Amino acid sequence: MVGTARGRDELEFLPLGGAGEIGMNVNLYRHAGKWLMVDLGITFADRDVPGIDIVLPDLSYIEKQRSALVGLVLTHGHEDHLGAVQYLWPRLRCRVYATPFAAALLRRKIADDPVEGLDDLEVTEVALGARFDVGPFAIELVSLTHSIPEPNAVVIRTAAGTVMHTGDWKIDPTPLVGATTDEAALKRLGDEGVLAMVCDSTNALRAGVSGSEAEVRASLVELVRGRTGRVAIATFASNVARLVTAHHVAVACGRTAVLVGRSLWRIHDAARETGYLPREVRFLRDKESVDLPADKVLYVCTGCQGEPNAQLARIAAGAHPHVALGAEDMVILSSKIIPGNERPIYAMINQLVARDVEVITEADRFVHVSGHPSRDELTRMYQWVRPGIAVPVHGEARHMRSHAALARALQVPEAIVVHNGALVRLAPGPAAVIDHVHAGRLAWDGGAIVPMDGTVVRDRRRLMRDGAAFVTLVVDDQGELLTDPKIATVGLFEDGAGDDLLMDAADDVRQALDRLSRRDRRDDDMVSEAARQAVRRILRIERDKRPVVEVSVARV
């Protein structure tokens, strides 16, 4: 599609992440020959990708057109909406717009984990409710509520029509931190006329409303009051309201609140800088809390999703230098179990239970409310905004299809369900997918960006599944073996158990080299490939394994 001429009066939408999945949100709008990006987020790798924690969107499609990319607007500060900026901005080099809290978070992330090429990145800080122009796009921010300060809907006005991109949101009448949803602005938009609403689908299958942070606060106080042991609350680091709630719970129950985890302190510092933490809300660091009596401490920890490097996982394993939990202690997972994270979460819970720790989840008590709209909230939003087209995003296929069905039931004229890489024409004419572009995934791997479907990740998966074999050949200049082939393996045999099979493999290598022509024996690549195939063949037949096989040829 790159380079194909399209009408300048068209308005198009292109998700490169976040459509058909929860996380890694990247959304593009095209009008008058220019592109606007809304959000640039990450997701986290599955456990079957060894050595990879962070997954990034593949922006190769828009990188080829970056001269037409007029800006990036961030809806809010969650990792799945801004986490990829520090890694991928050097490939885009466009202006970045964010409200104060998201800007403060982004600056801290860059300072904590600097990446080459960011020296001239300047974040343009815009006020809540601001209006500003980015190329041919007239932008207005509308304040919503979510589980982080300053969630913004992005209203995008063009000559072809107006789009409201909701970002993440809910309707919380008592959010505790930040303003309530700007209902008046949303109704005004509906009166003006909205061509399309690109909207959060996370809880589209859930009836009712998501609930209020104030209700969680009261429930947690009731749960913690009267406990004699240590209490730890694990939550999403970015949930500033939950941090304030944890401090309130600690004070109400005669305890001292302690933050455990670097990302929590990053959020804390950004919230303090931007005025979202009241002066009386103070936390200790974990190393400052070691002498507190068990009934006087309340820990707030990262790791509610069972992340192996997070603080709660270290505590569960007994590996934290300053925090230890045992009998009479309690851990509250004040969070949702995100689909796909069940295994690591329950493994961590079992580790805690094995230490006689009581573990409370949202299945046991009322300890969490979602930051995303349930069906009644979606209904209210559609009644306010009244778009002509519903475009569900931020959800798996089942969430987006349920969202689209609800929109149709609410008399929205058009609803279109798309996936990453689907180029959608919003105007003129009916909404339709007019093309498909590449929308892959990249991995952040120790300071380098590699493709998720490339050799690095593919070989690691094979190593994890099938092990590896290393073959050393010493030959003369004519390719004749001077010593027996040496074969070593990793992840294939217990010590000594594979000696006989490796001797057979060495014989197979020798025979494979004997079958080579004189010319091929003088070619290191041909010798290596013959040996590699011989070793892979016998291990596949005898062990049903397909290991990574590396061959080293030394000519003497």
Output the pLDDT for position 6. 61
Output the pLDDT for position 342. 86
Give residue-wise pLDDT tens across range 524-554.
999 999 999 999 999 999 999 999 999 999 9
Report whether pLDDT(5) > 60.
no
What CATH number has the domain spanning 467-555? Answer: 3.10.20.580
What CATH number has the domain spanning 11-208+370-451? Answer: 3.60.15.10
Helix segments in 358-454, DSSP class H: 375-385, 397-409
Average pLDDT over residues 214-227: 94
Alpha-carbon span 11 to 455, nearest angstrom? 38
Give residue-wise pLDDT tens across range 62-74.
999 999 999 999 9
> What is the average pLDDT score of the chain?
94
Report whether pLDDT(394) > 50.
yes
Output the pLDDT for position 369. 93
Residue type at position 361: T
Which has the minimum average pLDDT: 204-213, 304-313, 388-397, 413-422? 304-313
Alpha-carbon span 471 to 211, nearest angstrom? 61
Average pLDDT over residues 227-248: 93
Alpha-carbon separation of residue 382 from 31, 196, 418 (angstroms) = 25, 11, 19
Q: Residue 299: which pLDDT band, with cuts at 50, 70 and 90?
A: very high
What CATH number has the domain spanning 213-360? Answer: 3.40.50.10710
Report whether pLDDT(1) > 60.
no
Give residue-wise pLDDT tens across range 401-428.
999 999 999 999 999 999 999 999 999 9
Alpha-carbon span 317 to 352, nearest angstrom? 8
Report whether pLDDT(474) > 80.
yes
Report whether pLDDT(4) > 50.
no
* Residues 113-118: contacts with CB under 8 Å, at least 24 apart: 113/86, 115/86, 115/87, 115/90, 115/447, 116/90, 117/89, 117/90, 118/86, 118/89, 118/90
Q: Residue 28: which pLDDT band, with cuts at 50, 70 and 90?
A: very high
Average pLDDT over residues 159-177: 95
Give residue-wise pLDDT tens across range 84-130.
999 999 999 999 999 999 999 999 999 888 888 898 998 999 999 99
Alpha-carbon span 371 to 212, nearest angstrom? 9
Which has the minimum average pLDDT: 97-106, 191-200, 235-244, 317-326? 235-244
Give residue-wise pLDDT tens across range 311-329.
999 999 999 999 999 999 9
* DSSP states along 256-309: EEEEESHHHHHHHHHHHHTT-S-TT---EEGGG-TTS-GGGEEEEES-TT--TT
Average pLDDT over residues 225-253: 94
Q: Please report which helix (H) or strand (E) contains residue 415, including its range.
A: strand 414-415
Alpha-carbon span 348 to 188, nearest angstrom? 48
Report whether pLDDT(178) > 70.
yes
Average pLDDT over residues 356-373: 95
Output the pLDDT for position 3. 40
Output the pLDDT for position 74. 98
Alpha-carbon span 473 to 494, nearest angstrom? 24
Output the pLDDT for position 228. 95
Alpha-carbon separation of residue 81 from 151, 296, 438 (angstroms) = 11, 37, 20
- The residue assigned the tokens 């939003």 is 381
**Sequence spans of domains, the chain:** 11-208+370-451, 213-360, 467-555
Q: Calculate helix-pair angle for 100-112, 262-273, nearest 10 degrees.
A: 140
Contact residues for 60 (Cβ-Cβ < 8 A; gap 6+): 438, 440
Cβ-based neighbour number of residue 424 at 10 Å? 21
Alpha-carbon span 27 to 43, nearest angstrom? 15
Q: Is 291 exposed, middle or buried (0-12, 13-18, 19+ CB in 10 A)?
A: exposed
